[in-house]
Amino acid sequence: MIKQFGILALWLSGLGFVFAGVDINEPYLISLHGFGVAGLLSTSLAVLIVLIARACRNGLNIAGSLLFLLWCLPALSMLSADMAFEVRKQNVLQTDLVRAHSLGQHFIVGYSSFDEVLPLVQKGLIAGIYITRHNIAGRTAAALKSEISALQDQRRIAGLPPLMVAADQEGGIVSHLSPPLTALPALSTLAGLPGAIRAERAEEFGRSQGKQLAALGINQDFAPVLDLRPKASHNRFDFNTLISQRAISDDPATVAELGLAYVRGLDAFGVGATVKHFPAFGVGATVKHFPARQRGAAEANFPGGLGKGAVDDRPLMH
């Protein structure tokens, strides 16, 4: 019985390894790159050695032959995936400039390697970059600032518009660049303060984050969160949005007041705000967020009325 379970486990894990090999360059498996790929390959090799040793000892039947072939596939599938990825990459890099600039203005990409993102920046294949935790891990803020500056220099040399350099620095549980940036509490912690004080504090939050982001060369923050907080204080099945911890309040006027103050604080240092989420993680189909870039739409549809002149024509909703 134990032997049968072991063989079944080998079949199932072999299929899993093949699946991982085929999809190794997909974004959801990016965590496997580097040591993860080495682990997949070394494990596949170890299993093959065990299967060969078993075949030498007991002989090789049809099922054993198929299992051996299955464990040959992970390495082959990873090689095939890498070759296909390189072909696609070269096709993208060889896109004519007119088409590249036309399509590239719609893309902001995250990246791990400066050398990989550089040609996308130079050729106008992207409009911006997204900076997150892995871009700063094990590095100094000065090194990240220098890298962003170098990419912006390449845009100027190519005669292209500056990159949008974005980060997700809401405060609270979504503070992807803390450390080294100061970890501020969520705006929701201000909702219980008196009106004048909470608006002033919210603007201070925005100024603090705007100053630190701008110092790195980041010009767009994916904040603030303007969803209305769900009536239930905590949804035990919400493992993704965690909106009950991120939303400012369940009161539209409070959300608009603190959101507007925070946006003013970011704007004081030239950092654009991103009002989110559309069509809402919070409650109700009637909750409206930015459905368009135009100021008029923003004024008409924001919870509590965000107020005239609250945002400029830069993006954004999210």
Residue 307: partners with Cβ closer than 8 Å, 6 or more residues away: 256, 260, 299
What pLDDT is recorded for position 163?
Answer: 96
What pLDDT is recorded for position 278?
Answer: 66
First to last CA, the chain: 53
What pLDDT is recorded for position 233?
Answer: 55
Residue identified by tokens 């909703």 is 317
Q: What are the Cα distances from residue 45, in Å, to 74, 76, 82, 200?
A: 10, 12, 19, 61
User: Pairing mode, if any, of strands 174-175 and 169-171?
Assistant: antiparallel
- Tell me the C-alpha distance between 174 and 83, whole Å: 36
What pLDDT is recorded for position 318?
Answer: 53
- Tell me the C-alpha distance between 249 and 246, whole Å: 9
Backbone angles phi, psi at 167, to 5 degrees: -145, 160
Q: Half-sphere exposure (CA, 13 Å, Cβ side) for 281?
A: 20
E-assigned strands of the chain?
108-110, 128-131, 164-167, 169-171, 174-175, 220-221
- 277 contacts 229 by C-beta, under 8 angstroms: no
Mean pLDDT by 10 residues, the chain (318 residues): 79 92 86 84 91 84 88 92 90 88 92 92 95 91 96 95 94 89 90 87 94 96 86 58 78 90 95 81 44 36 45 47
